[in-house]
Structure 1
Amino acid sequence: MRYALFILMLSVLPLRAAIYSAPQEDTRLLGFAMEHRVEEGQSLDDIAQQYDMGLLALIAANPEVDPLLPTPGSVIKLPSQMLLPDVPRSGVVVNIAELRLYYFDNARARVHVYPIGIGVVGRETPIGTTRISQMRKDPTWTPTATTRRKWLEENGEALPKVVPPGPDNPLGHRALRLGFGNGEYLIHGTNQDFGIGMRVSAGCIRLRPADIEHLYDMVRVGEPVTIINEPIKLAEEADGWFIEVHEPLSDQVELDRDDKELVVSKALQQQLEALSPDPAKLERALQKQSGLPQRLQ
């Protein structure tokens, strides 16, 4: 099969990342469309955790579905197909706009895809290229002065200057330090059951416990890390052009979806003009922002 998708441990919770066979260099379409029939008592967050996907990604793909009370027996779309970001396929690649982390295991011709939590408005996850500078099992957490101040303001109690490993440590059991700034940004686990696939952190990149352990075992110090913010991905495939559109991230204050502006770059505008897409399909993709690849022709 051209786009082979293997989701490990499908019947066991918690799941690991989706593992895809790496596509050829001339294609960026990864995976294939999947659906799920809702069981009694399931929420969209339950389903997101079952398939190791992000909650907001599942909501975007199914905007008509009540996230807390989806109808039992109904069929929902799973965001299991995607376009690879248009960057070199090496090491760790994070697209914060789609709340996903990709790891390119080129030695085994695989791509591992993880849902992530990222920085809240005002404490954004940085954009750029860096490397993993340090790897720590059972890390201690040293909250910054800003984090301690905000915690005190919001919770009325002081955070300790150092939190030891254990169930109260929000970094979980694994941490990968990035080379940005003074090393204050990490890719790490979590001690929470909620928040993956959302904006929840103080700027770090957060993974589910099984996912960070899985990633930790594959990467090394010096591994390249590329972080981008691209809500629109466009790719030419053998059977036509595809576009994948995500809801843009708020900038200075958190905005409702309808109040956000989806910016189409000049380069992307020129590409779209050159390929002459079906206007109705393009407009529908830009309006729906479903996070699913859509044909343009």
Structure 2
Amino acid sequence: VEVFPIGIGQAGRETPRNWVTTVERKQEAPTWTPTPNTRREYAKRGESLPAFVPAGPDNPMGLYAIYIGRLYAIHGTNANFGIGLRVSQGCIRLRNDDIKYLFDNVPVGTRVQIIDQPVKYTTEPDGSNWLEVHEPLSRNRAEYESDRKVPLPVTPSLRAFINGQEVDVNRANAALQRRSGMPVQISSGSRQMF
């Protein structure tokens, strides 16, 4: 498993969630053809956006693109500040080194599954228990602008996992509170520090 930080679609242009597709094609030095709607949005902000952006340093697709489904791509960027944010037109942005790695290692036809699951948990073959908690996406402007944390989806199976005999409940609750986005070992008696 490889893990990379990404940028995703802005509100109103969301990256598809809980979607399964395949790698349709790959392109080194991709070009970008903004949709008429995207160009209108830029114009409303007083920004001029050409109908076609050639490959190069001004192209927001970066150096490599992996096209998934009909309308979306996993691609690089010309602006690293967008990684970790909701700024794209729906595509998934990666740092250029990360997209190069994927470009070189993921063949056309590979299954792609996009998962929007802020809380992930597992018991590994060695019996260790792990919990990974991300800040969930805000569902509306009020949540986005609020100082309060967006509620986590706590399912009955998550509750049962955390209350299991081999789980340190205090460690699990700390991970749920911290929401670091990193896997945390929550096994009883483990020595991992937060």
TM-score (normalizing by structure 1): 0.56
Match of 2:25 in 1: 134
Give the alignment's Cα RMSD to 1 decimal.
2.1
Q: Is the 8 A contact 2:128 2:185 kept in 1?
A: no
Structure 2 residue 64 is the aligned partner of structure 1 residue 177: no
Q: Give the aligned residue type for 1:227.
A: I
Q: Percent of aligned pairs with the same residue?
A: 46
Q: Give the aligned residue type for 1:267.
A: S
Q: Is the 8 A contact 2:162 2:169 kept in 1?
A: no
Gap change, CA 1:184 and 1:257, over 3 Å in 2 = farther
Cα distance per residue 1:141-167 (max 9 Å; x no partner): 01123321221222x033112111121
Match of 2:48 in 1: 158
Q: Give the aligned residue type for 1:212.
A: I
Match of 1:113 in 2: 3
Match of 1:31 in 2: none
Q: Give the aligned residue type for 2:76.
A: G
**In structure 2, distance between residues paired with 1:261 and 1:229:** 14
Cα distance per residue 1:12-70 (max 9 Å; x no partner): xxxxxxxxxxxxxxxxxxxxxxxxxxxxxxxxxxxxxxxxxxxxxxxxxxxxxxxxxxx
Cα distance per residue 1:71-96 (max 9 Å; x no partner): xxxxxxxxxxxxxxxxxxxxxxxxxx
TM-score (normalizing by structure 2): 0.83
Give unpaired runs (5+ residues) of structure 2.
189-194
Gap change, CA 1:234 and 1:153, over 3 Å in 2 = same
Gap change, CA 1:295 and 1:136, over 3 Å in 2 = same
Q: Give the aligned residue type for 2:154.
A: V
**In structure 2, distance between residues paired with 1:130 and 1:204:** 14
Q: Is the 8 A contact 1:121 1:250 kept in 2?
A: no
Match of 2:92 in 1: 205
**In structure 1, distance between residues paired with 2:109 and 2:138:** 31
How many residue pairs are counted as aligned between the two chains?
A: 183
Match of 2:131 in 1: 243
Give unpaired runs (5+ residues) of structure 1.
1-110
Gap change, CA 1:146 and 1:246, over 3 Å in 2 = same
